[in-house]
């Protein structure tokens, strides 16, 4: 069997088929995932941890010895190694396809550093490396002048920024590494600070372990588990919260099989969110409670080398077992690898927590909510695609420095044309990526949001360097890139991706203040928008907007559109804070200014009318509310048309006014029906927004009947 011939049984990104398969049901739709091999589970496991009624799924096979699984949220991928074949493979959970690369220095255990880079144990080089650059940083290769044996498994402490790894001699044996002597003379557990490579510290007595192997932290990081393969046992250490030194070692569990390789040994292990230890052993996987009591065993058809949780909800257990990688769904969730991937944002539409760019389901919010994907792979494909250069040459007469002017972008965003908006997001992202590659900047992906490392010279002579002579990565600095960041902030806000919108506004704000001045029109506008997208309290937002309004009036004047936008936002937050008297004054001032400067039939004037309607809704003045809603609706229909999101939202609000304020459900039903048809045309029948308003309409129909 050739090591390079990896065959995936099947692949699919179909949500329903995946759920059906994991739940043991017949699939309701034809899907490539239907061809994945499955088999029945066996063992004795509490139902609170795992349901034995579901199948064990083979997601990849035809390997020699799989190891080191690690799930990457930012790409929705599982990385794993084949030590014997010296290969690293990547399983995409979006397409269920496997790609592989070689050589891999017979890599074994892997984890994530807080920076998002992989930390990898290498058998061939006897090293622990950080894949932050090419060539990678060697974190540990020697102890007291002698070469390490072969780092096997590794974890990184969430707050100490320190890697802990086991160092048995397996990588110096035939098949698993390069056969050679072991000058170190003992097998230990070590640690090293990620920001201080080479400072390796021994964390246990030299003769304590025969072959230390798997390591994992308790969820709170206060304890570290270490297992010993030949002794078939697990120890637990306390972790000093300041120094990270391991102490107070206790035997946690023993007699996990015979300790003989042919029987299945204690190897990889992980903690779930409850603190249960899932460890490989005789027969498959043993589950031990945090109290040291055996809770169950799970039979696996091959010797298991390691395991790891993955998937958007961290409830898919991936099992590396000799020639295959298996998958099953657990009732408990895996402990996230580090604090970085535990940052979550609420999906702007369904309000579920987003892990990475997923709203807690197999498919990301791209397909469910119509949000545009931001995967780095996708952007690379877009950036290398044909048509972009021709577009810019035609649009700007070949002047790439003016590749995106923010006023032209405003024309698109204010039109609320969702198709153009999504195309705009694609276009700007691709050009940002191309420009950073052109200028030599670094690019990484942080859960669906691009972080662009500013290269030297990007400030045009104003680059700020830190002590290590590296350019700050907090902001993009060129004015054309600032324009693009600002444009992306607006585009994302209209598409509904408020998390990315906030990130790009903040980026543009800092750069504008640096290059154009704190009181420039663009700096003030981006400051205003970044306040709206920040996570601060309503009271803090009010104070910041009041301060910002003074700056605007002094530098831009009282009749500038940016001033009007800030007045509108300030009025909304004052209303939310219960300061009604000041809120109505601010909102009416904004409306009067827009009517004077923009006219009665301008889109922004309609927005101010809508804001006043919302105010009167909060005070239950339904007569005034309906008056302003109907004026706003007329304005939106005139400027945007009858099918744009702002128009449809005003239709819905007007329907609500008729229903709640006047109990006229027949007029409300007619307006709801109109809005529903518009949302179906914009988003489709299965979109969450459409379904939400369809439900509202059904409630109204019941009231009418």
pLDDT in tens, 569-606: 888 888 888 888 898 898 899 889 888 888 887 878 88
Higher pLDDT, 361 or 217: 217
**What SS3 state is found at 299?**
strand
Residue 89 · residue 80 · CB < 8 Å = yes
Q: Give me the CATH number covering residue 678.
A: 1.25.40.10
| Cβ count within 10 A of residue 77 | 18
pTM: 0.51
- Both 223 and 161 in a single domain? yes
Residue 92 · residue 77 · CB < 8 Å = yes
In this prediction, residue 319 carries a pLDDT of: 97
Give the C-alpha separation, 433 to 442, whole Å: 10
Is 60 exceeded by the pLDDT of residue 98? Answer: yes
Q: Measure Cα distances from 603 to 414, 415, 647 in Å.
A: 8, 9, 10
Give the C-alpha separation, 82 to 176, whole Å: 9
- Both 164 and 212 in a single domain? yes
Q: For strands 66-72 and 77-82, give the pairing.
A: antiparallel
pLDDT in tens, 465-507: 333 333 333 333 344 445 556 656 665 665 556 666 677 677 6
Q: Measure Cα distances from 29 to 94, 329, 364 in Å.
A: 17, 21, 19
Please check whether residue 253 lies inside any domain of the structure. yes
484: nearest Cα among 529, 531, 429: 429
Higher pLDDT, 662 or 120: 120
pLDDT band (50, 70, 90) for residue 115: confident
**Residue 308 tokens, joined:** 């790891």
Please give the annotated binding residues, written as ranges: 67, 152, 213, 267
Please check whether residue 478 lies inside any domain of the structure. yes
Is 90 exceeded by the pLDDT of residue 232? Answer: yes
Q: Which residue among 353, 371, 389 closes a domain?
A: 371
Q: Give me the CATH number covering residue 136.
A: 2.120.10.30
Please give the annotated binding residues for substrate, written as ranges: 152
pLDDT in tens, 147-175: 999 999 999 997 899 999 999 999 999 88
Give the C-alpha separation, 675 to 642, whole Å: 9
DSSP 206-217: TTS-SSEEEEEE
**Residue 348 tokens, joined:** 């702007």
Number of domains in the chain: 4
Please check whether residue 558 lies inside any domain of the structure. no
Q: Which residue among 506, 535, 564 closes a domain?
A: 535
Higher pLDDT, 78 or 380: 78
36: nearest Cα among 112, 102, 90, 93: 93
Is 90 exceeded by the pLDDT of residue 445? Answer: no
- Both 173 and 62 in a single domain? yes
- Both 216 and 102 in a single domain? yes
**Residue 574 tokens, joined:** 């004052």
Per-residue pLDDT averaged across 424-443, rounded? 41
- Both 334 and 462 in a single domain? no
- Both 349 and 410 in a single domain? no
Please check whether residue 554 lies inside any domain of the structure. no
Per-residue pLDDT averaged across 29-56, rounded? 75
Higher pLDDT, 429 or 148: 148
Q: What are phi and psi of 56, to 5 degrees?
A: -95, 120
What residues are annotated to the active site?
267
**Is the link from the previous residue into 665 a cis peptide, with omega within 30 of 0?**
no
354: nearest Cα among 73, 12, 687, 692: 73
108: nearest Cα among 92, 91, 85: 85
pLDDT in tens, 647-672: 888 888 888 788 777 777 778 888 88
372: nearest Cα among 328, 433, 427, 326: 427
Domain that residue 705 falls in: 624-705
Mean pLDDT in the chain? 72
- Both 253 and 381 in a single domain? no
| Cβ count within 10 A of residue 670 | 15
| Cβ count within 10 A of residue 355 | 21
Give the C-alpha separation, 568 to 571, whole Å: 5
- Both 210 and 334 in a single domain? yes
In this prediction, residue 624 carries a pLDDT of: 86
**Contacts for 453 with CB less than 8 Å, ≥ 6 apart:** 436, 441, 442, 443, 444, 471, 473
The shares of helix, strand and coil residues in the chain, as percent rounded to the nearest 5, are 40, 25, 40
Is 80 exceeded by the pLDDT of residue 50? Answer: yes
In this prediction, residue 278 carries a pLDDT of: 97
CA atoms 521, 524, 527, 531: torsion sign: negative
**Residue 463 tokens, joined:** 């680059």
- Both 218 and 252 in a single domain? yes
Give the C-alpha separation, 449 to 343, whole Å: 13
Higher pLDDT, 5 or 556: 556
Higher pLDDT, 487 or 17: 487
Q: What is the 3-state secondary structure (H, E, C) of 385-440?
A: CCCHHHHHHHHHCCCHHHCCCHHHHHHHHHHCCHHHHHHHHHHHHHHHHHHHHHCC
- Both 319 and 428 in a single domain? no
Per-residue pLDDT averaged across 59-75, rounded? 89
DSSP 704: H
Please check whether residue 263 lies inside any domain of the structure. yes
Per-residue pLDDT averaged across 513-533, rounded? 65
Please check whether residue 560 lies inside any domain of the structure. no
133: nearest Cα among 376, 442, 456, 339: 442
Q: Which helix (H) or strand (E) holds 676?
A: helix 665-683
Q: Which residue among 371, 387, 415 closes a domain?
A: 371
- Both 74 and 205 in a single domain? yes
Which residues, listed in sequence order, are joined to residue 66 by a DSSP beta bridge? 82
- Both 145 and 105 in a single domain? yes
Please check whether residue 526 lies inside any domain of the structure. yes
Please give the annotated binding residues for a divalent metal cation, written as ranges: 67, 213, 267
Q: What's the count of helices (H) and strands (E) in the chain, helices before strands?
A: 17, 32
Please check whether residue 549 lies inside any domain of the structure. no
How many residues are there in the chain?
705
């Amino acid at each position: 069997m050739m090591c390079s011939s990896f065959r995936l049984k099947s692949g699919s990104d179909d949500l329903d088929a995946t759920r059906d398969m994991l739940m043991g049901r017949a699939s309701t739709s034809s899907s490539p995932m239907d061809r994945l091999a499955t088999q029945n589970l066996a063992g004795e496991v509490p139902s609170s941890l795992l349901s034995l009624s579901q199948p064990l799924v083979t997601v990849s096979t035809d390997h020699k010895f799989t190891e080191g699984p690690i799930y990457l949220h930012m790409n929705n991928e599982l990385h794993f190694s084949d030590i014997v074949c010296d290969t690293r493979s990547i399983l995409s959970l979006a397409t269920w396809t496997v790609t592989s690369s070689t050589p891999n220095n017979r890599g074994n255990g892997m984890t994530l550093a807080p920076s998002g880079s992989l930390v990898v144990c290498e058998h061939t080089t006897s090293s622990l490396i950080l894949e932050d650059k090419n060539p990678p940083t060697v974190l540990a290769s020697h102890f007291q002048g002698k070469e390490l044996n072969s780092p096997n498994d590794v974890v990184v402490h969430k707050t100490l920024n320190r890697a802990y790894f086991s160092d048995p001699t397996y990588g110096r044996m035939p098949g698993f590494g390069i056969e050679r002597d072991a000058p170190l003379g003992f097998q230990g557990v070590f640690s090293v600070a990620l920001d201080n490579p080479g400072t390796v510290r021994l964390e246990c007595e030299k003769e304590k372990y025969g072959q230390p192997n798997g390591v994992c932290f308790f969820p709170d990081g206060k304890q570290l588990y270490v297992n010993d393969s030949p002794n078939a046992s697990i120890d637990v250490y306390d972790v000093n919260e300041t120094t990270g030194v391991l102490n107070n070692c206790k035997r946690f569990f023993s007699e996990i099989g015979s300790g003989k390789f042919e029987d299945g040994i204690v190897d990889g292990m992980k903690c779930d969110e409850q603190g249960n230890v899932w460890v490989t052993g005789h027969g498959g996987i043993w589950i031990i409670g945090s109290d040291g009591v055996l809770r169950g065993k799970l039979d696996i058809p091959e010797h298991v080398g390691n395991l790891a949780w993955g998937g958007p909800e961290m409830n898919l257990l991936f099992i590396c077992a000799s020639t295959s990688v298996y998958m099953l769904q657990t009732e408990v969730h895996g402990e996230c690898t580090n604090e970085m991937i535990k940052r979550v944002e609420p999906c702007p539409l369904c309000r579920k927590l987003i892990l990475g760019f997923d709203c807690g389901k197999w498919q990301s919010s791209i397909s469910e909510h119509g949000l545009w994907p931001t995967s780095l792979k996708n952007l690379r494909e877009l950036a290398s695609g044909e048509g972009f250069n021709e577009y810019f040459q035609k649009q700007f007469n070949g002047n790439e420095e003016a590749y995106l002017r923010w006023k032209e972008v405003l024309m698109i965003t204010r039109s609320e044309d969702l198709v153009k908006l999504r195309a705009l997001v694609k276009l700007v992202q691709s050009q940002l990526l191309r420009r950073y590659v052109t200028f030599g900047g670094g690019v990484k992906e942080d859960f669906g949001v691009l972080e662009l490392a500013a290269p030297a010279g990007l400030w045009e002579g104003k680059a700020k360097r830190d002590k290590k002579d590296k350019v700050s990565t907090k902001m993009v600095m060129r004015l054309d890139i600032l324009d693009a960041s600002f444009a992306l902030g607006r585009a994302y806000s209209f598409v509904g991706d408020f998390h990315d919108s906030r990130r790009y506004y903040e980026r543009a704000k800092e750069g504008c203040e640096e290059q154009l001045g704190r009181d420039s029109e663009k700096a003030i506008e981006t400051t205003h928008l970044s306040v709206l997208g920040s996570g601060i309290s309503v009271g803090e937002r009010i104070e910041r907007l009041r301060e910002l309004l003074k700056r605007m009036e002094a530098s831009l004047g009282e009749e500038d559109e940016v001033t009007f936008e800030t007045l509108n936002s300030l009025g909304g937050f004052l209303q939310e804070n219960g300061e009604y008297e000041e809120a109505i004054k601010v909102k009416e001032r904004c409306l009067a200014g827009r009517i004077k400067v923009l006219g009665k039939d301008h889109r922004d004037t309609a927005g101010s009318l809508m804001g006043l309607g919302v105010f009167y809704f909060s005070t239950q003045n339904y007569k005034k509310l309906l008056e302003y809603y109907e004026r706003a609706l007329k304005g939106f229909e005139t400027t945007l048309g009858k099918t744009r999101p702002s128009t449809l939202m005003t239709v819905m609000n007007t329907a609500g006014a008729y229903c709640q304020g006047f109990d006229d459900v027949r007029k409300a039903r007619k307006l709801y029906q109109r809005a529903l048809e518009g949302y179906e045309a914009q988003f489709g029948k299965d979109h969450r927004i459409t379904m939400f308003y369809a439900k509202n309409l059904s409630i109204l129909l019941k009231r009418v009947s």
